[in-house]
């Protein structure tokens, strides 16, 4: 057992802050790292100490493994928490950290390595009777042989890069005629994006749901599951809304998925927090997709329904302590939903919309949590992921949680940039979401930019007119008008407060 007295968080933004808050509560001193773009960021201000890593691009700052380890030695840091993204799933980094005598808050380098390759992961779990999507379990070297296999599986099929991640490196092949061309493209894309051209094929599940299980394991071999997260609302194969529990998972399915996830974790001697991802078809049959060997962006929904602080558990496990609870101690309490607030324009293909947060007022109230890393007036840097915040709500049941989230979104005031907030309201109000009957195709099936266009009700028009008069009056008396770039274009994000 090795006590952690000082922790360096090798990350930025909301996740860096989120980790340091828990560390502080546990009496652990915190060290932030930052790039020149983040010099005034809240995570830097929050930490007890902070180290500048270099210029804004992440390969000159947040990805500099050696510099981060050097900083740990200089500041006598005991442990590094990598957050998510950046170096979090880099087995080489985890090894360097451990070799330097510093605790890596995460699994062993070998677990990261196995689960970092989709093919190695499939092989590792194959002995344990985990259901897997029909497909090849080796990298494709012979295109003709792969074509025969594709015929056997049946079209459509999905070509996946073994080293792929973040929804990148996937290609759907609808019929035999396009197989060769798509395969060549997939291999060269995988090679240039991941430096590894290994690809394999899988049956393409046409109406899939993405449901994942949170696991926690200690170094003594205990592993528990903390139920599921429903992550099917995605754009570009990337999640935007997550919830726990899932509307379609019954207690028996939950138990079966949870136990399968524990087996996956045990297959690679896993310790720490991890997520086992499954794809679920129309018949609610589930298949293992991959394991993410880090804290997930969407972990707060699990924290809300279980009452467990996952970062605290990660830190205790990293100190070598046994899990403080058993499977039977875990219960689901109510329902939690998270929406990811991205600086993206849903009306323009979800393209990043970088700029200054002219207005930034968070929603408040019972059962509402905002994990973010920005303040009003700050610029969203172009160098990193454009996520501004995660808005999480918790209530007694799904219906109440949806209502609470709609209210929280209305109270969230952001101007200066476009965000995914109005889009999230659209999803939460949609009949398919409300009924629970949706899959990962939600956006392509139901969403088009015009869905966010305002249909002004008569009463709203009247109110608008009276507010306009008010503004003119104030102008007459020399009062300054505060304007938001988005103006009144979107009533879903509390337009009344934006006018004056």
Active centre residues (catalytic): 294
287, containing H or E segment: strand 286-292
Q: Count the Cβ atoms, other than its own, within 10 Å of residue 229.
A: 27
With contacts defined by CB under 6 A, name the span among 164-172, 404-412, 459-467, 478-486 that binds ligand ADP. 164-172
Out of 7, 51, 125, 133, name the contact with ligand ADP by CB under 6 A.
133
Contacts of ligand ADP in 389-448 (CB under 6 A): 440
Cα–Cα distance for residue pair 410/421, rounded to 1 Å = 9
Return the bridge partners of 189, or none.
none
As measured in angstroms, the least distance from the Cβ of 283 to ligand ADP is: 14
Residue 496 contacts ligand ADP per CB under 6 A: no
Residue 268 contacts ligand ADP per CB under 6 A: no
Return the bridge partners of 242, or none.
338
As measured in angstroms, the least distance from the Cβ of 68 to ligand ADP is: 25
Q: Which is nearer to ligand ADP, 209 or 492 (CB)?
A: 209
Contacts of ligand ADP in 89-108 (CB under 6 A): none
Residues 6+ apart with CB under 8 A from 187: 140, 197, 199
With contacts defined by CB under 6 A, name the span among 23-31, 100-108, 199-207, 255-263 that binds ligand ADP. 199-207
CA atoms within 13 A on the CB side of 184: 3
Distances (CA, A) of 163 to 78, 138, 139, 333: 31, 13, 11, 36
As measured in angstroms, the least distance from the Cβ of 119 to ligand ADP is: 12
Q: Count the Cβ atoms, other than its own, within 10 Å of residue 258.
A: 22
Out of 277, 303, 313, 353, name the contact with ligand ADP by CB under 6 A.
277
Give me the numbers of helices (H) and strands (E) for the chain, helices first please.
16, 20
Please, are residues 18 and 315 in contact by the beta-carbon 8 Å criterion?
no
x/- mask, ligand ADP, residues 227-266, rule CB under 6 A, reads -------x--x-----------------------------
CA atoms within 13 A on the CB side of 183: 20
Q: Which is nearer to ligand ADP, 89 or 372 (CB)?
A: 89
Residue 86 contacts ligand ADP per CB under 6 A: no
Q: Which is nearer to ligand ADP, 118 or 398 (CB)?
A: 118
Out of 62, 93, 204, 412, name the contact with ligand ADP by CB under 6 A.
204
Tokens coding 346: 């849903």
As measured in angstroms, the least distance from the Cβ of 179 to ligand ADP is: 16
Out of 12, 18, 81, 210, name the contact with ligand ADP by CB under 6 A.
210
| Tokens 């905002």 sit on residue | 370
> Is the CA virtual torsion 430, 436, 437, 439 positive or negative?
positive
387, containing H or E segment: strand 387-395
Helix then strand then coil, % of the chain, to nearest 5: 40, 25, 35
Tell me how far apart the terminal alpha carbons of the chain are, to the nearest angstrom. 58
Out of 279, 318, 389, 424, name the contact with ligand ADP by CB under 6 A.
279
Out of 57, 165, 381, 491, name the contact with ligand ADP by CB under 6 A.
165
Q: Which is nearer to ligand ADP, 277 or 395 (CB)?
A: 277
Q: Which residues of this protein are in contact with ligand ADP, per CB under 6 A? A: 133, 158, 164-168, 202-205, 208, 210, 234, 237, 277, 279, 289-290, 440
């Amino acid at each position: 057992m090795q006590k952690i007295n000082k922790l360096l968080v090798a990350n930025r933004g909301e996740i860096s802050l989120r980790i340091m808050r828990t560390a502080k509560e546990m009496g652990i001193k915190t060290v932030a790292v930052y790039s020149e773009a983040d010099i005034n960021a809240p995570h830097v201000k929050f930490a007890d100490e902070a180290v500048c890593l270099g210029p804004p691009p992440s390969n000159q700052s947040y990805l500099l493994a050696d510099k981060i380890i050097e900083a740990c030695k200089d500041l006598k840091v005991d442990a590094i928490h990598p957050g998510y993204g950046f170096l979090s799933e880099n087995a080489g980094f985890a090894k360097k950290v451990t070799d330097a005598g510093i605790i890596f808050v995460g699994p062993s380098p070998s677990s990261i390595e196995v689960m970092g390759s989709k093919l190695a992961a499939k092989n590792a779990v194959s002995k344990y009777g985990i259901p897997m999507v029909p497909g090849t379990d080796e990298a494709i070297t012979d295109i003709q042989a792969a074509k025969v296999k594709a015929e056997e599986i049946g079209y459509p099929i999905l070509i996946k890069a073994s080293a792929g991640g973040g929804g990148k490196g996937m290609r759907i092949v609808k019929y035999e005629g396009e197989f060769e061309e798509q395969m060549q493209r997939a291999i060269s894309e995988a090679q240039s994006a991941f430096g590894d051209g290994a690809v394999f094929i899988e049956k393409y599940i046409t109406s899939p749901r993405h449901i994942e299980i949170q696991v926690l394991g200690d170094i003594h071999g205990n592993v528990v599951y903390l139920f599921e997260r429903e992550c099917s609302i995605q754009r570009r194969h990337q999640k935007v809304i997550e919830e726990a529990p899932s509307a379609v998972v019954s207690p028996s399915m939950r138990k079966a998925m949870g136990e399968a996830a524990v087996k996956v974790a045990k297959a690679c001697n896993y310790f720490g927090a991890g997520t086992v991802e499954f794809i679920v078809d129309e018949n609610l049959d589930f298949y293992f997709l991959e394991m993410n060997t880090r804290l997930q962006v969407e972990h707060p929904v699990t924290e809300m329904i279980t009452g467990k602080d996952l970062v605290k558990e990660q830190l205790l496990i990293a100190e070598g302590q046994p899990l403080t609870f058993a499977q039977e101690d875990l219960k689901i309490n109510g329902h939690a939903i998270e929406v990811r607030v991205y600086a993206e324009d849903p009306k323009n293909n979800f393209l990043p919309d970088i700029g200054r947060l002219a207005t930034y007022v968070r929603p408040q109230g019972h059962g509402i949590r905002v994990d973010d890393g920005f303040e009003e007036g700050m610029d969203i840097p172009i160098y990193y992921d454009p996520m501004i915040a995660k808005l999480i709500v918790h209530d007694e049941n799904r219906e109440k949680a949806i209502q609470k989230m709609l209210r929280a979104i209305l109270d969230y005031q952001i101007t200066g940039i476009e965000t995914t907030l109005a889009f999230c309201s659209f999803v939460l109000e949609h009949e398919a979401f409300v009924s629970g009957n949706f899959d990962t195709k939600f956006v392509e099936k139901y969403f088009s930019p015009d869905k966010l266009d305002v249909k002004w009700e008569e009463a709203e028009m009247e109110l608008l007119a009276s507010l306009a008069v008010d503004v003119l009056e104030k102008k007459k008396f020399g009062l300054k008008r505060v304007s938001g770039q988005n103006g009144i274009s979107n009533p879903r994000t509390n337009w009344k407060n934006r006018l004056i």
